[in-house]
Amino acid sequence: MSWLTRNRAIGLMLAGLIFLLDQFIKSLMVGPLQLRDREVIDLLPFFDLRWTQNFGVSLGMFTANSVEMRWALVAVTGLIALAVFIWMLREKKLWDIIALALILGGALGNIRDRFLLGYVIDYADFHIGDIRPFMIFNLADAAITFGVVIILARSFFLREKPSETETDDQGKSPAET
């Protein structure tokens, strides 16, 4: 197996793992923990499990107030997930593939919720007293966030310098001339 095939296989397995783990945790919230009925389970002074039905996307934006909006969100997020999947298959570096796999696995978990339920199950509630620095979220949201942070960090801090073949005799890249 080539290193490229290995990296892509790792990415696909990670995306699948994130998806399965997200769905497993959500099934625990609905099933054995009965979070929907209990609404809140206090665990730590700064962390609770709190039942939330998210009808929107990130930060509750673009709330699906109708059946048409629900399916529009499923379609749009499905297209984004497809684009991330294609992007992941085109990448070569393992860290880029891992970041995209986190995004893909999280997106698929939330898409499945929205497709089957009409909303995304959120449950993780970090807080300091009554102050909530984050919205209530789930594992899929956390995976998407970490994936985006990795991509941003790599793009800001690990920019590749042009190779010698990409520079002219004066040491300038084509973009600088």
List of residues 6+ apart from 37 with CB closer than 8 A: none
Q: Which listed residue (96, 113, 122, 125) is catalytic?
A: 122
Q: Provide the phi-psi class of 129: left if phi over 0, else alpha when psi is between -120 and 50, else beta.
A: left
CA pair distance 104, 127, nearest whole angstrom: 27
- Is 48 labeled as catalytic in the residue annotation? no
Q: What are the DSSP calls for the chain, one per residue?
A: --HHHHHHHHHHHHHHHHHHHHHHHHHHHHTTT-HHHH-EEEEETTEEEEEEEE-SSGGG-S---SHHHHHHHHHHHHHHHHHHHHHHHH--SHHHHHHHHHHHHHHHHHHHHHHHHSSEEEEEEE-BTTB-SS--B-HHHHHHHHHHHHHHHHHHH-PPPPPGGGS-TTS--GGG-
- Is 125 labeled as catalytic in the residue annotation? no
Q: Which listed residue (37, 141, 168, 169) is catalytic?
A: 141
Residues taking part in catalysis: 122, 141
